Amino acid sequence: MARTTPHDPPASRLAALAGLLADETRASFCLALLDGRAWTAGELARGAGVAPSTASEHLGKLVAGGLLTEERQGRHRYVRLAGRQAAQLVEQLAAHAGPGPQAPARSLRAASVGNALARGRTCYDHLAGRLGIRITEAMTERGLLRQDTGFALTEDGLEWFGALGRPLDTSARRPLARGCLDWTERRPHLAGAAGAVLCRHALEAGWCERFGTGRAVRATPDGLRALEELLGIAPSTIDAP
């Protein structure tokens, strides 16, 4: 008599989670939602180039699987990533997958979007791309951040945030600093509470602005001056094409 393999609940849950991202349309939805904002099904459908009915079917699976949450306002249905852990999972899987062979852009718009994302973008609630990497490197060079034994803010780093007018809550359960592997730069950028606070400050203080409707952000002239003054970052290392 053949022996049956015992049911393994953790393995089943892992397989189910992997299956959610094993579809290119669902994966593209999750990547788009890494901007931290809520999107409608129609917006995601247009971005992915699929029919609204197809988008709704895929979004239903992502919500049921716990990667997305949904909110309804009147006739509109909005979805967003379920939280920081879901965002971290998507970003790390994208980094692990790597950029792959560089396929030629199918249009000038596609090339512009790709360049903009590589230059600077939000990774859920913190900065990524060349902008995020340069800030992380500059903070490390200035002794505000340590990377030798994992990511950790130094005392000078805590004081730097205080001087910025954004003191960090050191009693919070969320890690103050965490490294997040950047899928375009292939190096870690600053995440955690400090990364979220810095991203929020950059947007609210006008250091950065959203570029288009997706995740891309770009440093403003005021932002380039501030980053050079506060962290010694040469504007050309951020604003290069």
Residues 136-162: pLDDT tens digits? 999 999 999 999 888 999 999 999 999
Residue 64 belongs to some domain of the structure: yes
Total domains, the chain: 2
Consecutive H or E run containing 189: strand 188-191
> Which residues is 127 bridged to in the sheet?
122
Say if pTM beats, i.e. exceeds, 0.85. Answer: no
pLDDT reported for residue 127: 94
Residue 199 belongs to some domain of the structure: yes
pLDDT reported for residue 107: 45
Same domain, yes or no: 130 and 78: no
Report the alpha-carbon distance of residue 155 to residue 203 in Å, rounded: 25
pLDDT reported for residue 210: 87
Same domain, yes or no: 79 and 117: no
Pick the range with the lowest mean pLDDT from 39-53, 74-88, 118-132, 217-231: 74-88
Same domain, yes or no: 120 and 218: yes
Residue 59 belongs to some domain of the structure: yes
Same domain, yes or no: 231 and 125: yes
Residue 100 belongs to some domain of the structure: no
The answer to whether the CB of 150 falls within 8 A of the CB of 181 is: no
Same domain, yes or no: 117 and 50: no
Report the alpha-carbon distance of residue 63 to residue 26 in Å, rounded: 11
Residue 194 belongs to some domain of the structure: yes
Same domain, yes or no: 30 and 129: no
Residue 24 belongs to some domain of the structure: yes
Identify which of 79-83, 111-115, 138-142, 167-171 has the greatest average pLDDT: 138-142
Same domain, yes or no: 78 and 118: no
Q: What is the pLDDT of residues 69-94, one digit of tens each?
A: 998 877 778 898 888 888 888 888 88
pLDDT reported for residue 105: 44
How many C-beta neighbours within 10 Å does residue 36 have? Answer: 17
Same domain, yes or no: 73 and 148: no
Residue 122 belongs to some domain of the structure: yes
Classify 33 as helix, strand or coil: helix
Same domain, yes or no: 39 and 155: no
In the predicted structure, residue 206 carries a pLDDT above the cut 90: yes
pLDDT reported for residue 173: 86
Q: How far is CA 163 from CA 62, 77, 86, 92, 230, in A?
A: 41, 41, 32, 32, 11
Residue 128 belongs to some domain of the structure: yes
Structural domain for 69, as ranges:
18-83
Same domain, yes or no: 67 and 124: no
Report the alpha-carbon distance of residue 29 to residue 18 in Å, rounded: 15
Q: What is the pLDDT of residues 37-69, one digit of tens each?
A: 888 888 899 888 899 999 999 999 999 999 999
The CATH number assigned to the domain holding 36 equals: 1.10.10.10
Average pLDDT, the chain: 86
Q: How far is CA 140 from CA 34, 73, 143, in A?
A: 25, 43, 5
Same domain, yes or no: 77 and 126: no
